[in-house]
Structure 1
Amino acid sequence: MIKSRPNNQGYDIIGDIHGCTEALVQLLERLGYRQHNGVYRHEQREAVFVGDIIDRGAQVREALHLVKNMVEAQAAHIVLGNHEYNAVRNADFLTTVLSEGLDSQASESKPRLMRLMGETLQQFSRHQQEWQAFVDWFATLPLFLEGPGFRVVHACWDEELIAEFKRRESSHRIHPAFIEASKDPKSFAGRVVDRLTRGTNMPLPEGMSLQSKDGFVRRFFRTKFWSEDPQTYGDVVFQPDPLPYDLTDHPIKRVDRKTLIHYHKDAVPVFFGHYWLKGRPRPLQPNIACLDYSAVNYGRLTAYRFDGEMTLNPAKYVWVYVDKK
């Protein structure tokens, strides 16, 4: 639970950074944050980061230092992103790769992970102790946050799973036993971390696949967690990559329909990242906002200025463009 400072007047919820530190500094300054003793602060507001600080971008180390300093100074809050979870889940492997070198034989055993994290590892190749300190920090982050009248999660708010997580755990934070259990994807911990940091998905018809813009071949597609009574694939698809062939009008199978969840329209506003949106930032529903507008792909690093409203206001988005230079 987010506990506000006495003089707090609102929250600035910030989307996926992915190493875009210069854009982050510009966004914070546009939001009225100023650097004091090495920490960006606002006199009357607090920042909330939706995760995915690392990977893909050119200034991952700098972004991590900036964000961690803010969180430790209680000027900001953060939830675990799927990229930070990858680092925690594969901590021993990544330590070996950094020790032996990115071109070592060890790195060849997990090509997909190396493709996702290669940029980050390259930037920490001469800062291994620093990297370990950040991984240790990732391993203490919350999976979700609840503030005064709002919620934050990296990819998906699943009310049922979160309620069960609260019954089992003493806090919103992950810990070593939870991390170890989560390595089994069929375990409760595995299902929770996958759902909250990666979202919901649906399999494509047998034999079909799609190649995403990040170069990976997938046999499933990402889905909305707020669709009410969807009938077709097109009603639930939520990703930058188009569905293959003419599947938009393909009816959802009954067995797949049972896996869908629905975020109620009367629930408090929920904020998340993860989904690589494009265009002008706006609410997806009156109480639902994705803040990932593809910053690392030269899109917009985006924030929403939340002040307690139950209906989100398009005018309260703030963003900066990421310069290709």
Structure 2
Amino acid sequence: MAGNKPTASRGYDIIGDIHGCANTLARLLEQMGYNKVNGVYQHRRRQAVFIGDIIDRGPRIREALHLVRNMVERGSARIVMGNHEYNALGYCTRARAGSGKTWLREHNSRHDRLIRETLDQFEAHPYEWNDFLEWFYTIPLFIEEDDFRAVHACWDSELIEKFKQLQGGAFIDEDFLHASAAIDSFAGQVMDTLLRGTDLRLPQGMKITGRDGYVREFFRTKFWADDPSTYADVVFQPDPLPAEVASRVLAEHERKQLISYPLDAPPVFVGHYWMESEPAPLKSNVACIDFSAVKYGRLVAYRMDGERELSRDKFVWVNVARDHRDSPDYPTSEDSVAR
């Protein structure tokens, strides 16, 4: 776990969801001045911080895991857990006797589809996959430094403080994983909130079908909204709400469910949310760095140097063109390297 210890006098490059785009990650690292030393990417003065979701969906999941883990173990990177690493642990862990189920995460068609590429790419390397599953337990849920914070989806200070008191740090163990299978438990709330975000239930009887085909009765919400009044003020997800729902005024009980992130708190970085616009801070001290690389978007990083107010100019990225998706070639001018 040495790679998750803070490193003095370094800038940090916080990198968004990779989802198996190993070659795109290599391009981004090289653009930012990282070079291979004995086969592992390093920077003389900076440290990468991966925001989670290294696995699933993409073409080079195994390669991405090796690249990231080697950097973490060498000390040239740190990492927080994504919901896909957590999902993999649940999917591959047998439930305990008396629970009434075989696996912690049900093996249904949706869950099978989400992890299929990962399992397929490790089919010839089962021992290696099991070793990575063990490594996932060494990944913290969050990073908390004096000048920045990182978590995959949502910084909930109250949950994080309770978690630290219970676990004695930022890591889960197998007991906590089993406890989290009950979504209404404290462990379930921690994993769902920190790794998937906060949400509100849609008006009674209403459902929305996302672009992924999944039907939802909830919509994802901001954890940093200041004094919101309508659903439109708090919604934060790729699929928009219908206009008549977006204009709905928040009821008092709904407002009480929301959390906030104070302006005087250290800058916090999240991934998870499949952003599509040009990278920019969401708030002066909140930034999302997931810009859908595996969906032909951008693999994005924020170059953090201790500033209290985040700047649009500190984002860097590599575009992933549809006909060069995670290509072994370096990007053309159309498949551009930006900033």
Q: Distance in 2 between matches of 1:132 and 1:153?
A: 25
User: Could you tell me which residue of structure 2 aligns to residue 15 of structure 1?
Assistant: 16
Q: Distance in 2 between matches of 1:56 and 1:322?
A: 15
Does the 8 Å CA contact 1:2/1:146 hold for their aligned counterparts? Answer: no
Q: Distance in 2 between matches of 1:245 and 1:216?
A: 20
User: Could you tell me which residue of structure 1 aligns to residue 252 of structure 2?
Assistant: 254
What amino acid is aligned across from residue 16 of structure 2 in structure 1?
A: G
Q: Distance in 1 between matches of 2:5 and 2:107?
A: 43
What amino acid is aligned across from residue 78 of structure 2 in structure 1?
A: H
Q: Distance in 2 between matches of 1:137 and 1:240?
A: 31
Compared CA separation, residues 225 and 108, structure 1 to 2 (3 A): closer
The within-5 A match list for 1:140-219 is: 140-219=138-217
Does the 8 Å CA contact 2:268/2:287 hold for their aligned counterparts? Answer: yes
1:61 corresponds to 2:68: no
Which of 226, 229, 233 is the aligned partner of 2:224? 226
Unaligned runs of 5+ residues in structure 1 are 95-106
Shift of 1:205: 0.9
User: Could you tell me which residue of structure 2 aligns to residue 5 of structure 1?
Assistant: 7
Q: Distance in 2 between matches of 1:149 and 1:108?
A: 39
1:79 corresponds to 2:80: yes
Shift of 1:5: 3.3
What amino acid is aligned across from residue 177 of structure 2 in structure 1?
A: I
1:92 corresponds to 2:93: yes
User: Could you tell me which residue of structure 2 aligns to residue 243 of structure 1?
Assistant: 241
Q: Distance in 1 between matches of 2:185 and 2:218?
A: 21
Does the 8 Å CA contact 2:71/2:77 hold for their aligned counterparts? Answer: yes
Question: 4+ runs of 1 displaced by more than 2 Å?
Answer: 1-6
What amino acid is aligned across from residue 69 of structure 1 in structure 2?
A: N
Compared CA separation, residues 162 and 109, structure 1 to 2 (3 A): closer
Shift of 1:245: 5.1
What amino acid is aligned across from residue 127 of structure 1 in structure 2?
A: H
Shift of 1:221: 0.7
Does the 8 Å CA contact 1:3/1:147 hold for their aligned counterparts? Answer: no
Deviations along 1:37-71, one digit per CA (max 9) or x if unpaired, are 11100011000000000111111111000000000
The within-5 A match list for 1:111-122 is: 111-122=109-120
Deviations along 1:272-321, one digit per CA (max 9) or x if unpaired, are 10000012100000000000011111001000000000000110101001
Shift of 1:148: 3.6
User: Could you tell me which residue of structure 2 aligns to residue 30 of structure 1?
Assistant: 31
Does the 8 Å CA contact 2:226/2:260 hold for their aligned counterparts? Answer: yes
Shift of 1:91: 1.5
Unaligned runs of 5+ residues in structure 2 are 96-104, 325-339
What amino acid is aligned across from residue 253 of structure 2 in structure 1?
A: V
Q: Distance in 1 between matches of 2:137 and 2:313?
A: 35
RMSD (CA atoms)? 1.7
Shift of 1:244: 3.0
What amino acid is aligned across from residue 229 of structure 1 in structure 2?
A: D
Shift of 1:108: 9.6
What amino acid is aligned across from residue 109 of structure 2 in structure 1?
A: P
What amino acid is aligned across from residue 121 of structure 1 in structure 2?
A: L
1:42 corresponds to 2:43: yes
Deviations along 1:93-134, one digit per CA (max 9) or x if unpaired, are 69xxxxxxxxxxxx9941111121111111112111111111
Q: Distance in 2 between matches of 1:3 and 1:144?
A: 12
> Residue 300 of structure 2: SS of its match in structure 1?
strand
Shift of 1:92: 3.0
Which of 311, 314, 317 is the aligned partner of 1:316? 314
Which of 276, 283, 286 is the aligned partner of 1:285? 283
Q: Distance in 1 between matches of 2:106 and 2:157?
A: 39
Q: Distance in 2 between matches of 1:223 and 1:171?
A: 27
Q: Distance in 2 between matches of 1:243 and 1:125?
A: 40
TM-score using structure 1 length: 0.92
Q: What is the number of residues matched between the two proteins?
A: 312
Does the 8 Å CA contact 2:4/2:77 hold for their aligned counterparts? Answer: no
Does the 8 Å CA contact 1:20/1:322 hold for their aligned counterparts? Answer: no
Shift of 1:2: 5.8
> Residue 57 of structure 2: SS of its match in structure 1?
coil
Taking only the aligned residue pairs, the percentage that are identical comes to 55
User: Could you tell me which residue of structure 2 aligns to residue 124 of structure 1?
Assistant: 122
What amino acid is aligned across from residue 36 of structure 1 in structure 2?
A: V
TM-score using structure 2 length: 0.89
User: Could you tell me which residue of structure 2 aligns to residue 104 of structure 1?
Assistant: none
User: Could you tell me which residue of structure 2 aligns to residue 100 of structure 1?
Assistant: none
What amino acid is aligned across from residue 287 of structure 1 in structure 2?
A: N
Shift of 1:3: 4.0
Does the 8 Å CA contact 2:4/2:75 hold for their aligned counterparts? Answer: no
Shift of 1:192: 0.7
What amino acid is aligned across from residue 202 of structure 1 in structure 2?
A: L
